[in-house]
Amino acid sequence: MERVALVTGGTRGIGEAISVALQNAGYRVAANYGGNDEAARAFTERTGIPAFKFDVSDHEATKAGIAQVEEVVGPIDVLVNNAGITRDGTLHKMTYEQWHKVIETNLSSCFNCSRAVIEGMRERRFGRIVNISSINGQAGQFGQANYSAAKAGIHGFTKAIALEGAGKGITVNTIAPGYIDTEMLSGVPPEILQKIIARIPVARLGEPEDIARTVVFLVDDAASFITGSTICVNGGQYMY
């Protein structure tokens, strides 16, 4: 029987690459998205993967959204918590709204989604949860106190629920991407981008597929002895 995978923020960028890679690996995939209906329609037309719109930062909306996914696609065996946003600003200028929105979307969403699927995984004695963090949750980043805090929090969350799920056939791991060539970097001035690349030992930006391949590895049955771990996919930058 095909296993079912849900990828949050799964219709664009890294999320799209993960969704497609899981589909190619034989999973029945559902992709969540938060707001861009046009991009979600185009994604589904390209891939055939159904897209489900709900706000992962909203606990009740997530419960309802995941219930709909399970009704349409099937019980979720694999959850990839990928959804994330930035609202950058130095601390002395950052508003509470900027702080709160990033924490809720990037960190609380991991709780909301994992809480909605964990009981089913425990009952079936199988589950794979992969949380997408960031190099900036390990090293910090100027102007990203909110983003760095949220992404750092994912590491502790992962380790705690990995301990809880280990005896039930559930593994929980984190991937910490470095700088990946996605829309999120599109606003970075070229001169700054070149400075970023100069600090990456392999001398290039990562591709979304670099992260997607790591997800496919972690959710495979053969990776059942890996849990509570952080896999750094960053081209050697900030070896942590």
Residues serving a catalytic function are 147
Pair of tokens at residue 144: 């990203």
- Name the H helices within the chain: 13-24, 37-47, 59-72, 96-103, 109-124, 136-139, 145-165, 190-198, 208-219
Of 53, 62, 170, residue with least CA distance to 108: 62
Alpha-carbon span 78 to 121, nearest angstrom: 9
Alpha-carbon span 156 to 228, nearest angstrom: 9
SS3 142: coil
Of 51, 44, 45, 49, residue with least CA distance to 9: 51
Of 24, 67, 70, 66, residue with least CA distance to 49: 24
Find out whether 53 and 115 touch, Cβ atoms under 8 Å: no
Residues with Cβ < 8 Å from 212, sequence gap 6 or more? 14, 17, 18, 20, 21, 22
Length of the chain: 240
